[in-house]
Amino acid sequence: MLTFVRQEIFKLVKSKLFALSFLVLIAFVILMLWGFYTYSKHKTGGQTEFKYTYENASYFNGLIFSLYSLYFAFQIIIPITVSILGGTQIAGEARAGTLRFLLTRPLSRSRLFLGKYLVTALHVYVLLVFFVVLNLLVGLLVVGWGDLSLYPGPLNLVKEPSRLQEDEALLRFLYATVTGTWSLMTLTSLAFLMSVSFENPIVAAFCTLSIYVLFSVMGRVDFFVDLKPYFFTVDMEFWRDVFKPVIPINEFLYRTCRCGMYTVAFLLTGLIIFERKDILT
């Protein structure tokens, strides 16, 4: 199993998808910088000082930039990346004609399935760490760090003005890499389920993303208020609770367990389908 995982990591690192996944996030950070720069220029009549708002001279610093960037990326760009990463794992091998070859090795289908899942989970974690570190570094270089001031409204994080000290805020970013990864494992597991259900990685990724976007949109429309508790996308948003001044432990653990439920349910279903599937390619 270890050997298989090492091989998969090697394959992953050598693949174009690996490099592309990082490039997309770099492009996003550049876009965020451009967005903030032009917004501040527009709002301050050309002075490009976005530091002064909320009558707080240090509101907009590298930490708040990183938080905004992470928050916005989590809405769609990271889920797209994760859907593609997960969707290509089994379906991609089937499409390339290498899945049968892989299964001729002395490796059970369950180990193959879980091994690939483990490697994908590692990839997602590394991506998230890279993204957070990149944002923090860019924020430090362009604006500088400071305390993380939070206000009700934008980011939908707090109900009253709050503040995290710089050291504490940096620690919360570290926590966010873990909670973010856990949250994304739900989507990754769904992508794996689609990947074993379809022979085509594009269809698998498309289905995963469609389900994610559908639930995500419906979860924010009041028509579906009764259905909302059953959408996994609602539970996935727990990752940002680590940025609240006082982390609501009960709610946090509740959502963590719910994400775990969905993750394992999708994974188990995918495994059962994969084991019974007749591999023809």
Partner 1 sequence: MLFRITGSMDVKFFLAGLFLTFVCGAWYFDPERTKAVSPPALTDSPGFSLLTWNVGYFDDELDSRAHSEDLSHIASVISGAGVDCINLQEIADSNQVSTLKGLLGARYPYDAMGKGSRTDRYVVTLSRLPFENETLTPSLVGRDSVAVRFDVSSPPLSITVVNCHADAFNSRRRRLLANYLIDWEDRAEGKKNVLLAGDFNLDLTPIESSDLFTDDKKNDSEAYSLLLRRFRDLGGQAGPTSIFNRRIDYLFLASENLETVEVRVIQGKVVGRMDHLPLLGRFKVK
Q: What share of the chain is helix, strand, coil (3-state, %, to 5)?
A: 75, 5, 20
- What residues numbered 94-153 form the site for partner 1, per CB under 8 A? 108-110, 114, 151-153
Output the CA–CA distances (angstroms, integers) from residue 134 to 106, 138, 145, 179, 181, in the order listed. Answer: 41, 6, 14, 18, 17
- What residues numbered 66-85 form the site for partner 1, per CB under 8 A? 68, 71-72, 75
* Cα 202 from Cα 222, distance rounded (Å): 32
Q: Name the residue nearer to partner 1 (CB basis): 99 or 205.
A: 99
The answer to the question of residue 167 lying near partner 1 (CB under 8 A) is no
End-to-end CA separation in angstroms for the chain = 23
Closest distance to partner 1 from the beta carbon of 228 (Å): 10
Q: Which of 158, 170, 178, 273: binder of partner 1 (CB under 8 A)?
A: 158
Contact letters (x/-) for partner 1, 21-60, by CB under 8 A?
A: --------------------------------xxx-----
Nearest alpha-carbon partner for 211 in 223, 194, 196:
194
> Are residues 265 and 186 in contact, defined by beta-carbon separation less than 8 angstroms?
no
> Are residues 61 and 142 in contact, defined by beta-carbon separation less than 8 angstroms?
no
Nearest alpha-carbon partner for 255 in 187, 179, 181, 157:
179
The answer to the question of residue 165 lying near partner 1 (CB under 8 A) is no
The answer to the question of residue 6 lying near partner 1 (CB under 8 A) is no
Pair of tokens at residue 17: 């998808």
Contact letters (x/-) for partner 1, 233-262, by CB under 8 A?
A: ---------------x-xx-xx-xxx-xx-
Q: Name the residue nearer to partner 1 (CB basis): 41 or 258.
A: 258
The answer to the question of residue 157 lying near partner 1 (CB under 8 A) is yes
* Length of the chain, in residues: 281
Q: Name the residue nearer to partner 1 (CB basis): 98 or 156.
A: 156
Contact letters (x/-) for partner 1, 201-240, by CB under 8 A?
A: -------------------x-x------------------
Q: Name the residue nearer to partner 1 (CB basis): 97 or 106.
A: 106
Closest distance to partner 1 from the beta carbon of 69 (Å): 11
207-213: long-range contacts at Cβ-Cβ below 8 A with a sequence spacing of 24 or more? 207/87, 208/83, 208/86, 208/87, 209/79, 209/80, 209/83, 212/79, 212/83, 212/187, 213/76
Size of the site for partner 1 (CB under 8 A): 43
* Cα 17 from Cα 148, distance rounded (Å): 34
Q: How many CA atoms lie within 13 A of 216 on its CB side?
A: 14
Closest distance to partner 1 from the beta carbon of 35 (Å): 10
Closest distance to partner 1 from the beta carbon of 77 (Å): 13
**Residues in contact with partner 1 by the rule CB under 8 A:** 1-2, 53-55, 68, 71-72, 75, 108-110, 114, 151-161, 220, 222, 248, 250-251, 253-254, 256-258, 260-261, 264-265, 267-268, 271-272, 275
